[in-house]
Amino acid sequence: MAGAGVAGGSRDRAGAVGPQGRAAEQSPRVADMSSVASYESLVHAVSGAVGSMTAMTVFFPLDTARLRLQVDEKRKSKTTPAVLLEIIKEEGLLAPYRGWFPVISSLCCSNFVYFYTFNSLKALWVKGQHSTTGKDLVLGVVAGVVNVLLTTPLWVVNTRLKLQGAKFRNEDIVPTNYRGIIDAFHQIIRDEGVLALWNGTFPSLLLVFNPAIQFMFYEGFKRKLLKKQLQLTSLDAFVIGAIAKAVATTLTYPLQTVQSILRHCGEIVREIVLPLFQFGRHRLNPENRTLGSLRNVLYLLQQRVRRFGLVGLYKGLEAKLLQTVLTAALMFLVYEKLTAATFTVMGLKHSRKH
């Protein structure tokens, strides 16, 4: 790590402290800053972003099916293949890739922020020692909170763009008409106010446990494997990435459904959140409007259970698991290989212990 050796050897043989010695006395703060702004953290962030973009592109149609199952409650088809066939038949061959660019753009920014924050904080806290399961969970939660607060507007916009032009079974869903990412930002701010860009922030903050749990399991499995071998194989990264994501997704899926609804509530789900509206389709209760308060989250969960039973909380889980597990597995595979290759090419030793 840059600045790691600043503190050593700064005193002369007589024990006096020279200019270099005074610099050494300030080295902890310098070392901390260098950990946050290190090249190693940047490599992790770029590798994580590239891995997620690659994986999402490959499995994007599965995410399209998952979103339709979550939001369009009157759709009769309940399985991923059936929904995809319906979408292709009714909307065209490329319809499963509708909204690809805004999703990929958001995902790139989101994973860059998450991986950079996670690895920078890990460098500060772990300081070259072995991490623990508890530390991984805490780091994951903090990185998730930073990520949510910075990137929620991108996800609100991409959710709406992804559903634009879709043929819904629910007649109460109001169609949107955005010409692109910039126009979507402009219309949302103009019609609903700038704070509408943070719709669904509260459930998103609760959902920081999803990547936190995922990273906790992934890093834990990784540490166990690296005790027996020098590095992860492609199969190792794929399998432990898949297992970690499957556990995290299953535990947090009901909140993910609420998150998808709240992100789009300004336009398409009046029937579901109508009691929360006061004046027209965009006027939510002022105290609840932006963040999707705990009251809103509990209300939506309650309505979901009343309509569909407990099974309704997991509507679309099959599509979500299929998409998210495969995507996470491929993401971790690309991430590990790209990170290792970059450190090798640049002649850097991956010094941070897991």
| pLDDT tens per residue across span 129-179 | 778 899 999 999 999 999 999 998 988 888 788 767 666 655 555 667 788
Q: Average pLDDT across each block of 10 residues of the chain; the chain has 354 residues. List them in order.
A: 42 42 47 62 94 93 81 71 88 88 88 94 82 91 94 85 66 69 89 85 82 94 91 94 94 79 49 30 39 66 80 77 89 94 76 49
Query: Dihedral sign, CA of 319, 325, 326, 331?
Result: positive
pLDDT of residue 69: 76
Q: What is the DSSP letter of 169?
A: S
Give Cα separations from 75 to 127, 294, 316 (angstroms). Answer: 52, 28, 11
Structure tokens at 67: 């979103």
**Other Cβ atoms within 10 Å of 136 Cβ, number:** 24
pLDDT of residue 313: 78
pLDDT of residue 65: 83
List, as own/partner pairs, every contact residues 268-274 make where C-beta atoms lie below 8 angstroms and the sequence separation is at least 24, other chains included: 268/71, 268/163, 268/168, 268/173, 268/174, 268/175, 268/176, 269/71, 269/172, 269/173, 270/172, 270/174, 271/170, 271/172, 271/173, 272/73, 272/300, 272/303, 273/299, 273/300
Q: What is the DSSP letter of 275?
A: G
Instruction: Name the burial class of residue 127, with classes exposed (0-12), middle (13-18) and buried (19+) by CB atoms within 10 angstroms of its CB.
Output: middle
Say if residues 17 and 72 touch (Cβ distance below 8 Å). no
Amino acid at 257: T
- Cα(164)–Cα(188) distance, integer angstroms: 14
What is the separation of C-alpha 299 from the centre of its chain, rounded to a whole number of angstroms? 24
Q: Which residues pair with 284 in a beta bridge?
A: 277
pLDDT of residue 25: 45
pLDDT of residue 296: 72
Helices (H), ranges, the chain: 19-25, 27-36, 39-71, 80-91, 100-126, 133-163, 181-192, 201-206, 209-226, 234-263, 270-273, 294-308, 317-345
From the list 121, 293, 145, 162, the residue with the least C-alpha distance to 207 is 145
Structure tokens at 60: 């994007």
The half-sphere exposure of 123 on its side-chain side, counting CA atoms within 13 A, is 26
Structure tokens at 63: 């995410």
- Cα(260)–Cα(264) distance, integer angstroms: 7
From the list 113, 265, 120, the residue with the least C-alpha distance to 203 is 265
